[in-house]
Amino acid sequence: MSRRRLLPLVLSLLLAGGVHAQQAESSIPPPRDVPYAGTMRLEIDATNLSQRIFRVKQTIPAQPGALTLLYPMWIPGGHTPRGAIDKVAGIEFWANGKRLDWKRDPLDVAAFHLTVPEGASEVVAKFDFLTPTAGNQGRIVMTPSMLNLQTISTVLYPAGYYARRIPVDMRVTYPSGWTAFTALHEDGRSGDTVDYEDVPLDILVDSPIYAGRHARNIDLTPAGSKVPVKLGVVADEAKYLETKPEQVKVHQAMVVQALKLFGAQHYDHYQFLFSLSGQMGGNGLEHQRSSENGMGTDYFTGWNEKTGFDDLLPHEFTHSWNGKYRRPADLWTPNYNVPMQDSLLWVYEGQTQYWGNVLAARSGMRPLQASIDDLALVAATYADNRPGLAWRNVQDTTNDPIIAARAPRAYRNYQMSEDYYSGGQMMWLEADALIRTRTGGKKSLDDFARAFFGINDGEWKQQATYTFDDVVATLNGVVAYDWATFLRDRMDGKTGLVGGIEASGWRLVYKDTPNAYAKANMRGGADYTYSLGLSLGGDGVIGDVRWDGPAFNAGLGSGTTVVAVNGQAYGKDVLDDAVKAAKDGKAPIELLVKEFDRFRTVKLDYRGGLRYPHLERIPGKPDTLSAIFAPRK
């Protein structure tokens, strides 16, 4: 063998040997369903607002010998190993008053190996959790007025046990005078330090905290109910907490409509955690007895009666049933370092997306016309703005949380990104319409929701898992049909996703003005997705370009800045006029664009005029959609 051919072989053998050596070094005990001896004590100092640091101290019962501690990586609801281990610093371990050596596992960077000395009965762990100080480091979770403490990010736990078998006693010290909201009950207080109830690790990490200087807890408990539901709001300023009676009423109605839908409660109380901020990052993350929700400051004070509220709260509330109490079998794991699988996210997230929109309509949080307008935007996406469906299907997008970790993507319509949300929503609309049609309106997807998610009323400390076959069996219990083929054909790309629109008595059409809901949500930008094939921000920067659309075929790409239109400085009205003129004229639209430090002229030979999605009734066909959106009595 020549020397040139021998070298790669030697290198490959050396690399293989290194991998085998690393595998030999790795010795993380697998989780076992056995009790953990003792209770971990977790102390968190959340007072360093200026430098935005959580200081953590843990006291961990232990026996002499080898000990492996894990930092949670697979975050429930995140569907991907996104644990914020990059923000853990200054970690050290102590026992018998002496500092212990530790070593990070060579294959699993979230595992820490150490040796507990003879005579020691516990290990003390200390570390700083350095929250982002700028948006490019991640979501801001500490500001001068509020904080979001995600307990799963500030805890280590011993390997070798199911999370539900490890008891934890947590104490949190807050800035003086602040109010904290969480699903955890309090055991006591000492000054600004709150001692929370001892709970298993799985309940602790499913119980995040919002705290703030300006706070209000709004009662949403349905009349006559013994199970409290509260909306805990923290805001940048006290004025953003002000609400009108009719605003509170529709939020209360949303809770009532959810209980009518599912027919059971899987919590002893429910605490919405809600931030109204221009400083702390917005978010939406589900938990069984609470949810994290972040919106802008004008959620209440800038409320538009015609378009209503966002569907964030009903979406996350739905997850208490769909995703938390009942969750796909391959998304349940014994601890937070065993990989999860996302194959049924089109149920977990897709049907939650469906019910979140429906509950927003049924409660009046979103008026009927706004609900219809919003659905028109989703329908248009899957009718005319997902060229990516030519090369991948919605089922494959269940891998996107792991592939992309929710990072921004260029040409999203072509790459696609977690389309199991809205693609799933469209499929479940069609399923609902089909059930109603086949039963003459006597049954609906509501019956599936109650049968599937409404089991075991009052149970919340355990979870009930499900498989694809369980979904099919429950659907067949509502109405006999070939549901397995129905679901697989749509998720596997064999059948389109917009059949539910016409099945509901409506059709997708395009008009030369945006519908009211779309117009209210443009926020200074301009949407020419279904005409020129691009969208722009208020500064003229192109956000997305529809693959193989007019703009794309003319050579335009995402991130390009439109400077001028037909020789006139860019503005939405200027481009609108140019598109209208081109419809009846002979000259193409001429754009002056800037790409980095280069300018060039692009000609768009588009003659179709302005096109915006709307839904309109099909004459003579029953209006199933309005029935779906109607409140339950």
Same domain, 480 and 603: no
Give 457-462 contacts, CB < 8 A, sequence gap 24+.
Answer: 457/263, 457/264, 457/265, 458/264, 458/265, 458/266, 459/266, 459/325, 460/266, 460/267, 460/268, 460/288, 460/289, 460/325, 461/203
The answer to the question of residue 202 being in a domain is: no
312 Cβ partners below 8 Å, 6+ apart?
284, 293, 295, 356
Helix H segments across 332-421? Answer: 345-348, 350-363, 368-384, 400-404, 412-415
Closest CA to 482 of 490, 49, 203: 490
Q: 457 in a domain, yes or no?
A: yes
389 and 439 fall within a common domain: yes
Residue 447 in domain: yes
Q: What confidence tens digit (pLDDT) does each residue in 252-298 have? A: 999 999 999 999 999 999 999 999 999 999 999 999 999 999 999 99
Q: What is the predicted pLDDT for the residue at 234?
A: 98
- Based on the domain organization, do 374 and 424 belong to the same domain? yes
Q: Tell me the C-alpha distance between 529 and 385, whole Å.
A: 8
Mean pLDDT of 492-520: 97
CATH number of 436's domain = 1.10.390.10
* Beta-strand pair 167-173/40-48: parallel
* Short-list 315, 150, 293, CA closest to 218: 293
Domain coverage including residue 540: 531-610
Residue 127 lies inside a defined structural domain of this protein: no
Say whether pLDDT at 560 is over 70.
Answer: yes
Query: In the listed set 468, 494, 520, which residue is the last one of a domain according to the structure?
Result: 494
Pairing of strands 506-511, 526-528: unpaired
DSSP symbols for 314-338: HHHHHTTTBTTTEEEGGG--SSTTS
- Read off the pLDDT of residues 96-139 as tens digits, 9 standing for 90 and up: 999 999 999 999 999 999 999 999 999 999 999 999 999 999 99
Shared domain for 483 and 553, answered yes or no, is: no
- Residue 405: pLDDT band (50, 70, 90) is confident
CA torsion angle 528 531 533 538 (round to 10): -10
| Percent of the chain whose pLDDT exceeds 90 | 93
- Return the exposure string of 56-84: e unless at least 16 CB atoms fall within 10 Å of the residue's CB, then b: bebbbbbeeeebbbbbbbbbbbbbbbebb
3-state secondary structure 39-54: CEEEEEEEEECCCCEE
281 within domain boundaries: no
Cα–Cα distance for residue pair 232/212, rounded to 1 Å:
10
**In-domain check, residue 47:** no
- 386 and 487 in a common domain: yes
* Residue 131 to residue 139: CA distance in whole angstroms: 8
Q: Number of folded domains in the chain?
A: 2
Any domain includes 584: yes
Average pLDDT over residues 408-423: 95
What is the C-alpha to C-alpha distance for residues 16 and 21, in angstroms, rounded to an integer? 8
Q: What is the pLDDT, as a whole number, of residue 26?
A: 58
Q: What is the mean pLDDT of residues 40-48?
A: 98
Angstrom distance (rounded) from CA 284 to CA 274: 9
Task: Tell me if residue 562 falls in helix, strand or coil.
Answer: strand
Kindly indicate the confidence band of residue 522, based on its pLDDT and cuts at 50, 70 and 90.
confident
Structure token digits, residue 580 = 């209208």
- pLDDT attached to residue 11: 38
Same domain as 573, residue 488: no
pLDDT value at 523 more than 90 = no
Q: Indicate whether 8 pLDDT > 80.
A: no
* Strand, helix or coil for residue 135: helix
Same structural domain, 380 and 485: yes
Whether residues 486 and 345 fall in one domain? yes
Question: Does 473 lie in the same domain as 543?
Answer: no
d(CA 102, CA 97): 16
The answer to the question of residue 310 being in a domain is: no
Same domain, 591 and 479: no
- Please write the tens of the pLDDT for every residue from 131-180: 999 999 999 999 999 999 999 999 999 999 999 999 999 999 999 999 99
Q: What is the mean pLDDT of residues 457-478?
A: 96
Domain containing residue 590: CATH number:
2.30.42.10
What's CA 87's distance to the chain center, in Å? 21
Give the pLDDT band of residue 524 (cuts 50, 70, 90).
Answer: confident
Q: In angstroms, rounded to a whole number, what is the distance separating the alpha carbons of residues 261 and 207?
A: 25
Alpha carbon 479 to its chain's center = 31
Tell me what the mean pLDDT of segment 173-199 comes to.
Answer: 98
Average pLDDT along the chain: 95
Kindly state the average pLDDT of the residues 511-538.
Answer: 94
- What would the DSSP string read from start to end of 416-459? --STTTHHHHHHHHHHHHHHHHHTTTS--HHHHHHHHHS-STT-
Please state the rounded mean pLDDT for residues 430-459: 98
Q: How far is CA 607 from CA 366, 386, 563, 568, 612, in A?
A: 35, 22, 21, 20, 15
pTM of the model: 0.94
For the segment 311-333, the average pLDDT, to the nearest whole number, is 98
Are 410 and 471 part of one and the same domain?
yes
Question: Do 484 and 599 share a structural domain?
Answer: no
Question: Tens digit of pLDDT for each residue in 71-84?
Answer: 999 999 999 998 99
